[in-house]
């Protein structure tokens, strides 16, 4: 039953597991019959998905700006592409930090 509930939630939310992470942690809290502190710990780990959403928005804005710049001046495409890759790496580091914090909250705290 638990797997079917998670599958239904994921397909209902468009297949994005990050958007339903707080719901997963709430379900885990009730199904595992843990204490309130454990449930809050799992809820906090699920809410670190906000950091991943911010990184996704940042990468989208960087890609949008690069496409606009290349469209205006195609001769500078190699320089813009290398800058795009570096900037996307910086934006992705925020998502990686959020993932590390979520893992630490779940397994260490």
In the 3-class helix/strand/coil scheme, how is 33-70 assigned residue by residue? CCCHHHHHHHHHHHHCHHHHHHHHHHHHHHHHHHHHHH
**Structure tokens given for 98:** 């959020």
CB 5 within 8 A of CB 23: no
Reading the chain (109 residues) residue by residue, the pLDDT tens digits are 555 665 565 555 554 555 555 556 666 655 666 677 777 887 888 888 887 888 888 888 999 999 999 999 999 999 999 999 998 888 888 888 888 888 888 888 7
CB 56 within 8 A of CB 102: no
The dihedral built from the CA positions of residue 49, 101, 1 and 39, taken in this order, carries a sign that is negative
- 0.85 exceeded by pTM: no
In CATH terms, the fold of domain 36-108 is: F1FO ATP Synthase (1.20.20)
The dihedral built from the CA positions of residue 13, 19, 21 and 22, taken in this order, carries a sign that is negative
């Amino acid at each position: 039953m638990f797997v079917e509930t998670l599958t239904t939630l994921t397909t209902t939310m468009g297949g994005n597991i990050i958007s339903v992470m707080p719901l997963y942690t709430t379900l885990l809290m009730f199904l595992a019959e843990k204490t309130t502190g454990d449930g809050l710990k799992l809820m906090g780990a699920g809410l670190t998905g906000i950091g991943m959403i911010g990184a996704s928005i940042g990468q989208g804005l960087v890609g949008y700006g690069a496409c606009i710049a290349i469209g205006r001046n195609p001769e500078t495409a190699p320089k813009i592409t290398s800058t795009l890759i570096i900037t996307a790496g910086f934006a992705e580091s925020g998502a990686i930090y959020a993932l590390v914090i979520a893992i630490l909250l779940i397994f260490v705290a």
